[in-house]
Amino acid sequence: MLLGLDFDGTLADSRASVISSLAWVASHDSNESVQRLKQSLHLIEGKTLEVQLNSFISNLNFDNAFELYMSFYRIEGLQKTTLNKGSKELLLYCKTQDIEVVVISAKTEKNLALSMSHLGLEDIPIYGGCDHSKKSDLMKSLSVDLYVGDQESDVIAARNANVKVVYLSPSETINALSVGPDYRITNISQTIDILSILQKTKKGN
């Protein structure tokens, strides 16, 4: 069985690291960029870095903005990344049950590799820089059995790949989604129960 995980907001809490790195870039662009970032932040969470940067920069070109982001992220931002509550339990369960794990994320390949290394998870295969269409393609080609994500785009990507999907939302409030997930959870460790059910179903077939 192969479990696919999103990174930002799912496997790890990297919100502070991403926001601080984006804010660093905005502060080197213009006061207007700082304001635009504040206004668009809720709309660009979970998007690729290219989309995030292009949503607010005006004076900097993308390459310069990217370099600014990376230089800050490597030194300051990365230190703010931590595993989400329940992630250790899920990864341990997968290890003991011989369930393979792969991370498929919108985060750039470089930042994803740095983040996984920071968390001591270098042994888990990663695929970065994925928008929802690329996520779908990877889920299909890798034959992912279950995907866990915290954005509506994750649900859409899994649905398009015909993969069972878990929507993670720490809030008890039911978020309205245009496409419904197979499962909703508030803590990533709850994925263990879902995997257990799927394993029993597979064995029964």
Whether 110 and 158 share a structural domain: yes
Domain boundary among 42, 62, 80: 80
- In tens, the pLDDT along 148-181 reads 999 999 999 999 999 999 999 977 555 677 888 9
Whether 73 and 49 share a structural domain: yes
Whether the CB-CB separation of 87 and 12 falls below 8 Å is answered with yes
The number of domains in the chain is 2
Its domain, for residue 143, covers 2-13+82-204
Whether 57 and 150 share a structural domain: no
Across the chain, mean pLDDT equals: 92
Q: Which residue has the tokens 């419904």?
A: 180
Structure tokens at 7: 């990174």
Whether 36 and 93 share a structural domain: no
- For residue 90, is pLDDT > 70? yes
Whether 125 and 151 share a structural domain: yes
- Please compute, for residue 1, the number of CA atoms within 13 A of its CA located in the half-sphere on the CB side: 24
- C-alpha 71: how far from chain center: 21
Whether 123 and 182 share a structural domain: yes
